[in-house]
Amino acid sequence: MAQPKYLTGDSAAINEFIDRFDVFLLDCDGVLWSGDHLFEGIVETLELLRSRGKRVVFVTNNSTKSRQDYQKKLTALGIPSDIEEIFASAYSSAVYISRILKLPEGKNKVFVIGESGIETELRTENIPFVGGTDPALRRDITPEDYGKIADGSMLDPEVGVVLAGLDFHINYLKLSLGFQYLQRGAKFLATNLDSTLPNSHSFFPGAGSISIPLVYMSGQQPLSLGKPSQAMMDAIEGKFQLDRARTCMVGDRLNTDIQFGVEGGLGGTLAVLTGVSKKEHWEAKDAPAVPAYYVDKLSDLRGARL
Ligand code: PLP
Ligand code: CA
């Protein structure tokens, strides 16, 4: 397989790279920042891309935040943005449910396993939901619950979708309800399927590890609305009318970001080494995807020859 082109320090190659694209899809965590720490030179790098007429879209798998939450974060870190430039997996899921699934009246509620970012996006799309951050579900299952779940009296008959994202309060009760809805024919969606979630300490369970118990129980696979799912790419393409050949996906993770760009047939993919994946990961035989380009860090693009 062709090895990626290393751009750091090669101003002519950086220049040529930037010229090849009109749109840059930017993964956030691991590319722009790590947690709450903005990487050096990111504001200037985004300014450089914008000053050269490029469109940027912030594409993140983090389902715990709404687009408004993300815009607040970008603003707090000094990155100017338009809310329409933000494409997060909670938003992607809500848009998919309202514009593509088009659930029938009477079966149009979503059972949410996840945090408030998902709830905000569902509300914005006028999608009714149950579960989510409801404090009534943040408890142990009781002997009475088993009967009420089985006879349906604890279930909302209007639920037509189970949507699973990262839920910091996942428990046996929520999994039992989710499983029951799936058995009764609800569609199974996931905001994203990241196995793990890196932070400054270590790796922790990601959203995919929350939905996997439901996969195991039900034998069904969810449709993911996050990277690398092409359902998310189709939604981005529809919204931004982008020319895939002139679009580049930038990311730090091979099995989400780079795979997303490669499978989406984008004109290019750029890996940065400030996050999860390292050079040896794409040099490995079983690499999920190989980027077309790589830099040590995104701000190396400032080395473009003007
Ligand atoms: N999911 C959660 C809950 C997160 O907090 C993060 C990163 O902050 C991610 C996924 C990965 O986000 P990204 O796609 O921006 O790397
Ligand atoms: Ca990332």
Measured in Å, residue 156 CA sits from the centre of ligand 2 at 36
57, 61, 200, 225, best to mutate for ligand 1 pocket (most atoms within 8 Å of CB):
61
**Contact (Cβ atoms closer than 8 angstroms) between residue 257 and residue 233:** no
Q: What is the model's pLDDT at position 34?
A: 95
Res 306 pLDDT > 60: no
Q: What is the model's pLDDT at position 192?
A: 98
The single residue of 10, 19, 22, 27 carrying the catalytic annotation is 27
27, 38, 59, 60, best to mutate for ligand 1 pocket (most atoms within 8 Å of CB):
60
Q: What is the model's pLDDT at position 102?
A: 85
Across the chain, what does the average pLDDT equal? 96
Q: Which ligand is nearest to the CA of 35?
A: 1
Residue nearest to atom 1 of ligand 1 (CA): 62
The fold adopted by the segment(s) 90-224 is Rossmann fold (3.40.50)
Ligand-binding site membership of 156 (annotated):
no
Average confidence (pLDDT) over 257-279: 97
Atom of ligand 1 nearest to the CA of 207: 1
Q: Which ligand is nearest to the CA of 200?
A: 1
Atom of ligand 1 nearest to the CA of 115: 3
64, 192, 194, best to mutate for ligand 1 pocket (most atoms within 8 Å of CB):
194
Ligand-binding site membership of 82 (annotated):
no
Average confidence (pLDDT) over 184-207: 96
* Catalytic residue list contains 145: no
Res 165 pLDDT > 70: yes
Res 178 pLDDT > 90: yes
**Contact (Cβ atoms closer than 8 angstroms) between residue 121 and residue 67:** yes
Distance from C-alpha of 52 to C-alpha of 46, rounded to nearest angstrom: 10
Measured in Å, residue 128 CA sits from the centre of ligand 1 at 25
**Contact (Cβ atoms closer than 8 angstroms) between residue 268 and residue 42:** no
Domain boundaries defined on the chain: 90-224
% of the chain residues with pLDDT over 70:
99
Q: What is the pLDDT of residues 41-95, one digit of tens each?
A: 999 999 999 999 999 999 999 999 999 999 999 999 999 999 999 999 999 999 9
Distance from C-alpha of 166 to C-alpha of 10, rounded to nearest angstrom: 40
Average confidence (pLDDT) over 36-44: 96
Look at the block and give the residue holding tokens 């990311």.
Answer: 251
Measured in Å, residue 62 CA sits from the centre of ligand 2 at 9
Distance from C-alpha of 290 to C-alpha of 256, rounded to nearest angstrom: 12
Ligand-binding site membership of 234 (annotated):
no
Res 6 pLDDT > 80: yes
**Contact (Cβ atoms closer than 8 angstroms) between residue 89 and residue 147:** no
Q: What is the model's pLDDT at position 1?
A: 64
* Catalytic residue list contains 194: no
**Contact (Cβ atoms closer than 8 angstroms) between residue 66 and residue 138:** no
Q: What is the model's pLDDT at position 2?
A: 79
The single residue of 29, 69, 167, 257 carrying the catalytic annotation is 29
Measured in Å, residue 150 CA sits from the centre of ligand 2 at 40
Q: What is the pLDDT of residues 203-234, one digit of tens each?
A: 999 999 999 999 999 999 999 999 999 999 99
Q: Count CB atoms within 10 A of the CB of residue 102.
A: 8
The closest alpha carbon to 175, from 138, 216, 213, 123, belongs to: 213
Average confidence (pLDDT) over 134-150: 98
Q: What is the DSSP letter of 254?
A: I
**Contact (Cβ atoms closer than 8 angstroms) between residue 218 and residue 183:** yes
What is the value of pTM for the model shown? 0.95
Q: What is the model's pLDDT at position 304?
A: 79
Its ipTM equals: 0.97
Q: What is the model's pLDDT at position 156?
A: 98
Q: What is the model's pLDDT at position 33?
A: 97
How does residue 175 score in pLDDT terms, banded at 50, 70 and 90?
very high
